[in-house]
Amino acid sequence: MSAEATNPEARSEARPELRRRGRTRLDLRRLGRAALLGPTSRDRLPDAIGHVAEAHRAHHPDADLSILRRAYVLAESSHRGQMRKSGEPYITHPLAVTLILAELGAETTTLTASLLHDTVEDTEVTLDQVREEFGDEVCFIVDGVTKVEKIDYGAAAEPETFRKMLVATGNDVRVMSIKLADRLHNMRTLGVMRPEKQARIAKVTRDVLIPLAERLGVQALKTELEDLVFAILHPEEYEHTRALIAAHAGERDPLPAIAESVRVVLREAGIHAEVLVRPRHFVSVHRISRKRGELRGSDFGRLLILVGENADCYGVLGELHTCFTPVVSEFKDFIAVPKFNLYQSLHTAFATSDGHVAEVIVRTRQMHRVAEAGVVALGNPYATAAATAAATAAAAASGATAGSAEACADPYEERVDPTRPGWLSRLLDWQQSAPDPDTFWSVLRAELAQDREITVFRADGGAPATISLPGGASCIDAAYAQYGEAAHGCIGARVNGRLTSLTSRLSDGDTVQLLLAHDASSGPSADWLEHAHTPAARIAIGSWLKAHPDGAAATTTAAARAPLSVVGARGGGGNAVADLPDATVRLAGCCTPVPPDAVAGFVVRGGAVTVHRVQCAAVAQMRSLGRTSVAVHWRATADCRVTLLAESFGRPHLLADLTEAIAREGVEVVSATVEPPVEQRVRHSYTLQLPDATGLPALMRAMRDVPGVYDVSRA
């Protein structure tokens, strides 16, 4: 199956290019009649699953199809007599779902479970029977797809079914692959339902299933689901888009000629590549029409260039940008930086001499397979080569089936899934904290609405070294992702080495160091909820605030207090001397220069000379106003005055401890200011008289060693 344009209602009316290539439309009534004839002889497959066998062998030529025959026999016999609302025998549904997965390249275990996915839910077949006949792995997948009983859960049945399915997907992504194919076939045949039920199912598909298909990288399913939902929920826009495509079908399409020009360029460059014209599907045409207004012929499709190796992708890119006029803003490299859903490609666009803009996708054939089928293209992601070989050998020795050979010892144990991305791990974590089905359902939709993911790195070197977060996440989200409920005591963060507040938004690739308070009673403030994007953070913060209703009030009261100031004797210019007779010299409080800083002096009102460090912003401002600087030098004496900023966690006796540490270094405190605490952080400002400027580094180290102080810097 490909992700080409489809018409959910009348495919025969669309252009031939817009229809799926190489796909035979099934006559479900004919398959239903074949199903009712019952199983055939044991030495060959039933006619009804011939399409499935053919599609499966196209991807897996050596697959053992005997387990599919056995699964079909059980499914057909258990569903016999059941009919769909469309009037077809029910067995046509698992057959169609299995065919969808077979065309995507799913391996035998997935297809076996797909044939059986409704047996436990809708027939007398039990999970124990499935396990005994087909092994633990098939049983686990079938159980993961099976809905919970509505009698037991009532209105919460749908949310709890998805919760159960997500947990199972955490152990085996093939569970969700079958659910997506199941929903696609149901959406294709949704026309027999009442309009209000069509709308309800379409909304759940839009809010949950389509985002899941996107995250699992199954673009072939996602694009058709989008078109089917579009037709139901937005019929007027859908009809308008269909009219645009139909009108374009009668015009000359410039893309084939552009594709031929590209073929010539690549052939002359010695690059072996396949250049295809890839029509947009309905939703894509609708989006681009809203973005660009009136559409041109080249807007109805894109060029897809398939090559053999990764290096060839960049070779193609170089030729395109050399021989055509590139549209720089359209270039994206998803090979060097893949999307979070396994997607890899180069995206670019170029303008032709006649004004057409052709969008281009460049990828290898393996990338194309993964882009279309996502996790389905990975086969069985849990079986290593050695394990598979051992299982195959054991099966051959014992006469077991392929399905039992693939079964794991205990698939219900938590497994390390190489296909489990950050978003899925987050879902599995926070769903345990969701207090009720309604909260889970609403938060799940909000989480899946995030269409971008970022990765940040831990500065402490702990494991795991990276944290995956949704786009727009803040340091608050990173704190709860890393520490769980211990993040209640988080009071700040360093991002890329710079101190920042917890509300700061993170970018892809940032390095984050989270700072925790030593006070066990510390907790989040109410405004954290405005900056928390992940469900885990929002649920944890909300629970803490509910348990500590007076927690936020204390922070607000503290923030309203005025700064505490301690002022001692103030000196003048220290050991700075200006080359201006009888001038009074003052060291600027904004930058507090000390020997051997490079300095500049400026005459201010009253004839005094104020001395700044040359890097101070005031120096640039003075010069921009045309003020002439006065030469300043340091006396041979070593004493100096400096202002230091100390940032720390709030705790009792902190000011006394800092003052004691300063006194031990033999330094005089000229003045001190303590700002009110903000998010459990306190900032101290000290103006100090040092007997020797060379002692400044040792003084700063002594202040940093005071418990609770995490940074000391020059003003």
Phi, psi of 586 (to 5 degrees): -130, 140
CA distances for 410 relative to 140, 407, 415, angstroms: 9, 8, 10
Does the annotation count 122 as an active-site position?
yes
Q: At what angle do helices 219-233 and 174-188 cross, to 10 degrees?
A: 40
Amino acid of residue 69: R
DSSP β-bridge partners for residue 363 = 306
Confirm if 713 and 645 have CB atoms less than 8 A apart: yes
Amino acid of residue 228: L
CA 392 to centroid of chain Cα atoms: 37
The SS3 assignment for 72 reads: helix
Q: CA torsion, points 103, 106, 109, 110, in degrees to nearest 10?
A: -80
Query: How far is it, in rounded angstroms, from Cα 205 to Cα 224?
Result: 11
Confirm if 659 and 670 have CB atoms less than 8 A apart: no
Spatial CA neighbour of 38 closest among 87, 89, 77, 11: 77
Spatial CA neighbour of 674 closest among 666, 662, 686, 659: 686
DSSP β-bridge partners for residue 347 = 332, 361
Three state DSSP letters for 312-371? HHHHHHHHHHHHCEECHHHCEECCCCCCCCCCCCEEEEEECCCCCEEEEEEEEHHHHHHH
Q: Which helix (H) or strand (E) holds 286?
A: helix 282-292
| Residue tagged 């831990």 (tokens) | 458
Does the annotation count 158 as an active-site position?
no
Q: Which helix (H) or strand (E) holds 485?
A: none
Spatial CA neighbour of 715 closest among 695, 701, 700, 705: 700
Q: CA torsion, points 109, 113, 116, 120, in degrees to nearest 10?
A: 130
DSSP β-bridge partners for residue 632 = 578
Phi, psi of 360 (to 5 degrees): -130, 140
Maximum distance among all Cα pairs of the chain, rounded to whole angstroms: 116
> Which one from 17, 47, 64, 121 is the annotated catalytic residue?
121
> Which one from 64, 122, 158, 639 is the annotated catalytic residue?
122
Query: How far is it, in rounded angstroms, from Cα 421 to Cα 427?
Result: 10
343: tokens are 């997607």
Handedness of CA 74, 79, 80, 84 (dihedral sign): negative
Confirm if 317 and 323 have CB atoms less than 8 A apart: no
Q: CA torsion, points 637, 641, 646, 652, in degrees to nearest 10?
A: 100
Spatial CA neighbour of 223 closest among 497, 20, 443: 20
C-alpha R_g of the chain: 34
Question: Where are the strands (E) in 614-676, listed by range?
Answer: 629-630, 632-634, 640-649, 668-674
CA 57 to centroid of chain Cα atoms: 34
415: tokens are 């497994």
Question: Where are the strands (E) in 25-126, listed by range?
Answer: none
Which residues are catalytic, by number?
121-122
